[in-house]
């Protein structure tokens, strides 16, 4: 799947600073999937569902 860079759209978040430390501290939450595995799974899903991804 080729990467296409476009201009921002309404509703796009300009920056994110995602950090799971608060969830870990307050909820004792831990991810079950490491980042590389999760990103690979996301790409696999997007590739196989191109007909629904706009």
pTM of the predicted protein model: 0.53
Domain boundaries along the sequence of the chain:
18-54
Determine the pLDDT at residue 5: 85
Output the CA–CA distances (angstroms, integers) from residue 11 to 8, 14, 15, 18, 47, in the order listed: 8, 9, 12, 17, 24
Distance CA 43, CA 51 (A): 14
Distance CA 19, CA 37 (A): 18
Instruction: Please list the pLDDT of the chain residue by residue as tens digits (54 residues).
Output: 688 888 888 998 888 888 899 999 999 999 999 999 999 999 999 999 988 876
Determine the pLDDT at residue 6: 87
């Amino acid at each position: 799947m080729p990467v296409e860079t476009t201009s921002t759209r309404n509703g796009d978040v300009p920056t994110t600073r995602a950090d799971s430390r608060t969830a870990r501290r307050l909820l004792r939450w831990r991810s079950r999937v490491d980042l590389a595995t999760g990103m690979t799974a996301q790409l696999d899903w997007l590739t196989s569902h191109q007909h629904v991804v706009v």
